[in-house]
């Protein structure tokens, strides 16, 4: 889901970036003879990476499946935050990019070729997903991430012909199931106690909030809150809190260049500016001082 482009206008291209790197692996499905399945990608980043540049495809359908942590996409200028348990559809002709960074976390993506005249079931499923009305974010099929991981493990296995047939089966079944799932008109209701804690957090992001405060606001035991929170957001309370704190700090740093980094760090509950800088780099991809100098 990345093309070579300059900043600003989206690059329109059906060329797929197949370059793997540290924490990021892409499987070229087309060379295995699995078209219209073209590429399967996966990243697991311990630190944020530079943002995905704006791009648009003419004959490709992209499907993004977060496995850990929320990923903020922008599609046609509108924000589309997608979290584990959901899938983001990016049909041909839609311009998309990530937010400020590619966030710390884990994401799977699948690139498919769109043919409006396809007569086979898989091709028709892809065409249906491209034309599907309604929201671009929907519920992912059950165990979607494990199916994608299993497919990736099969690449290169012997006997090769059998392994590739099973790989094709896993990915095709996922696409077919997704095409058969009617788009949701309203998002499913979340856990009310987790929702209360998240609402409280957004109202107190500028305070020295700790993960234990979220548990207290929820009224749940620590173990039950952790389980419910992880199911709701796809990550732990601590990871979510640090991500939101650094997002808040990023906006503060850019909005008010005169405020010392140490003051921001202490206001948000960090023990030192050094600790704050380490955490900030992990989630925002640059040190606070580097962000201000860009």
Q: What is the pLDDT along the chain (294 residues), one digit of tens a residue?
A: 654 444 467 889 999 999 999 999 999 999 999 999 999 999 999 999 999 889 999 999 999 999 999 999 999 999 999 999 999 999 999 999 998 899 999 999 999 999 999 999 999 999 999 999 888 999 999 889 999 999 999 998 999 999 999 999 999 999 999 999 877 655 566 799 999 999 999 999 999 999 999 999 999 999 999 999 998 888 999 999 999 999 999 999 999 999 999 999 999 999 999 999 999 999 999 999 998 887
What's residue 4's pLDDT?
Answer: 45
Write the pLDDT tens digit of every residue in 215-269.
999 999 999 999 999 988 889 999 999 999 999 999 999 999 999 999 999 999 9
Structure tokens that stand for 236 in this block: 């732990």
Spatial CA neighbour of 1 closest among 37, 66, 55: 55
Report yes or no: 38 and 112 within 8 Å, Cβ to Cβ.
yes
The fold adopted by the segment(s) 11-180 is Jelly Rolls (2.60.120)
- Cα-Cα-Cα-Cα dihedral of 17, 18, 19, 22, to 10°? 110
Count other C-beta atoms under 10 Å from residue 39's C-beta.
Answer: 21
CA 86, chain centre distance (Å)? 9
Report yes or no: 276 and 261 within 8 Å, Cβ to Cβ.
yes
Q: How far apart are CA 43 and CA 109, in angstroms?
A: 9
The fold adopted by the segment(s) 192-293 is Arc Repressor Mutant, subunit A (1.10.10)
Pairing of strands 55-56, 11-12: parallel
Write the pLDDT tens digit of every residue in 165-185.
999 999 999 999 999 987 765
Task: Count how many Cα atoms sit within 13 Å of the Cα of residue 54 in the half-sphere of its side chain.
Answer: 13
Domain ranges of the chain: 11-180, 192-293
What's residue 186's pLDDT?
Answer: 58
Q: How far apart are CA 13 and CA 23, in angstroms?
A: 25
């Amino acid at each position: 889901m990345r093309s070579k482009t300059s900043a600003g206008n989206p690059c329109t291209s059906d060329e797929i970036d197949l370059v793997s790197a540290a924490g990021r692996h892409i499987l070229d499905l087309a060379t295995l003879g699995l078209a219209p399945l073209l590429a399967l990608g996966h990243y697991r980043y311990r630190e944020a990476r530079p943002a995905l540049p704006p791009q648009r495809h003419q004959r490709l359908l992209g499907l993004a499946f977060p496995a850990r942590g929320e990923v903020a996409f922008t599609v046609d200028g509108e924000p589309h935050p997608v979290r584990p348990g959901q899938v983001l559809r990016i049909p041909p002709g839609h311009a998309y990019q990530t937010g400020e960074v590619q966030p710390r976390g884990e994401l799977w993506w699948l690139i498919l070729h769109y043919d409006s005249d396809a007569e086979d079931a898989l091709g028709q499923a892809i065409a249906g997903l491209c034309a599907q009305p309604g929201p671009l974010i929907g519920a992912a099929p059950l165990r979607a991430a494990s199916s994608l991981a299993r497919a990736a493990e099969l690449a290169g296995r012997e006997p090769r012909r059998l392994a590739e047939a099973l790989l094709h089966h896993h990915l095709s079944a996922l696409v077919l199931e997704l095409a058969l799932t009617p788009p949701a008109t309203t998002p499913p209701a979340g856990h009310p106690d987790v929702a209360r804690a998240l609402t409280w957090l957004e109202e107190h992001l500028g305070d020295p909030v700790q993960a234990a405060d979220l548990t207290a606001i929820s009224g749940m035991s620590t173990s039950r809150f952790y389980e419910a929170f992880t199911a709701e957001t796809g990550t732990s309370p601590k990871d979510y809190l640090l991500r939101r704190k650094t997002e808040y700090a990023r906006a503060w740093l850019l909005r008010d260049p005169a405020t010392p980094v140490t003051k921001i760090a202490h206001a948000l509950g960090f023990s030192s500016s050094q600790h704050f800088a380490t955490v900030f780099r992990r989630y925002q991809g640059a040190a606070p001082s580097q962000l201000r100098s860009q």
